[in-house]
């Protein structure tokens, strides 16, 4: 409980100036909180390091946070999981998307859970509150790319995979 609350506070602080890409520009922290809700309350995940990694999953990629900083506060395992789900910032956007497909099969069990929850939440957001200015083709491309990533890591999280398949069936 102590670490969980610390992770919520840490993520809220790190993402405090960021907004989501939807029309309403929702606070960014809604996104990691949504992942945790999916993991714990929809999929029954109860591994605390997985839950904390989900809260922190975008901090290295999108804020000034380092893996060392996460390791100091939350341990080496959580830091390793967050690194696993962090895109290589040195690559262009298309290469980063391809890399997610290519690396999916190499992810740890915990990183697979975080990746599944991330894609579930992002697809739900594309349907329910799409990014401002996205034409339907872009929404469809996003769905198809997410499915390619998830198809590469199946077999360890049946409940999360079923939740992903549920939202994928709503492809625009
Ligand atoms: Zn995310």
Query: What is the CA(114)–ligand 1 centre distance, in A?
Result: 9
Those residues whose C-beta lies under 8 Å from the C-beta of residue 26, and which sit 6 or more positions away, are: 19, 20, 129
Which of these is catalytic: 61, 69, 87, 156? 61
Q: Examine the residue annotation and report whether 137 is marked as an active-site residue of this protein.
A: no
Rounded to the nearest angstrom, the distance between the alpha carbon of 55 and the centre of ligand 1 is: 9
| DSSP result, 109-169 | HHHHHHHHHHHHHHHHHHHHSPBTT--HHHHHHHHHHHHHHHHTTTTS-HHHHHHHHHHHT
Give the C-alpha separation, 67 to 78, whole Å. 9
Q: Which two tokens stand for residue 146?
A: 């997410």
58 is catalytic: no
Domain CATH code at residue 101: 1.10.3210.10
Question: Which token pair is 51?
Answer: 């839950």
CA distance 7 to 52: 6
CA of 112 to the centre of ligand 1 (A): 13
Q: What spacing in Å lies between the alpha carbon of 63 and ligand 1's midpoint?
A: 12
Please report the pLDDT score of residue 41 as a whole number. 98
DSSP state at residue 56: T
What integer pLDDT is reported at residue 89 of this predicted model? 87
Say how many Å lie between the CA of residue 72 and the centre of ligand 1: 22
What three-state secondary structure class fits 86?
coil
- Give pLDDT, residue 157: 98
Q: Give the integer Cα–Cα distance in Å for 68 and 76.
A: 8
- Full residue range of the structural domain in which residue 142 is found: 2-168
Q: Determine contact, residues 19/28, Cβ cutoff 8 Å.
A: yes
Burial of residue 22, with CB atoms counted within 10 A of its CB: 0-12 exposed, 13-18 middle, 19 or more buried? middle
pLDDT tens series, the chain, 172 aa: 999 999 999 999 999 999 999 888 899 999 999 999 999 999 999 999 999 999 999 999 999 999 999 999 999 999 999 999 999 989 999 999 999 999 999 999 999 999 999 999 999 999 999 998 999 999 999 999 999 999 999 999 999 999 999 999 999 9
User: What total of structural domains would you count in the chain?
Assistant: 1
One of 22, 47, 62, 87 is an active-site residue; which one? 62
């Amino acid at each position: 409980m102590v670490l969980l609350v610390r992770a919520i506070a840490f993520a809220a602080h790190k993402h405090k100036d960021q907004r989501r890409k939807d029309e309403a520009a929702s606070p960014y922290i809604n996104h990691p909180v949504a992942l945790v809700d999916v993991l714990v309350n929809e999929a029954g995940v109860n591994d605390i390091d997985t839950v904390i990694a989900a809260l922190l999953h975008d901090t290295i990629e999108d804020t000034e946070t380092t893996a060392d900083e996460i390791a100091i506060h939350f341990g080496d395992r959580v830091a390793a999981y967050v690194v696993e789900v962090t895109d290589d910032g040195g690559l262009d956007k298309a290469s980063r998307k391809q890399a997610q497909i290519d690396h999916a099969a190499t992810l740890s069990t915990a990183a697979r859970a975080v990746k599944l929850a991330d894609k579930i939440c992002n697809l739900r957001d594309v349907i329910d509150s799409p990014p401002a200015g996205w034409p339907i083709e872009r929404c469809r491309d996003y769905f198809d790319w997410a499915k390619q990533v998830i198809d590469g890591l199946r077999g360890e999280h049946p409940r999360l995979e079923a939740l992903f398949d549920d939202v994928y069936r709503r492809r625009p």
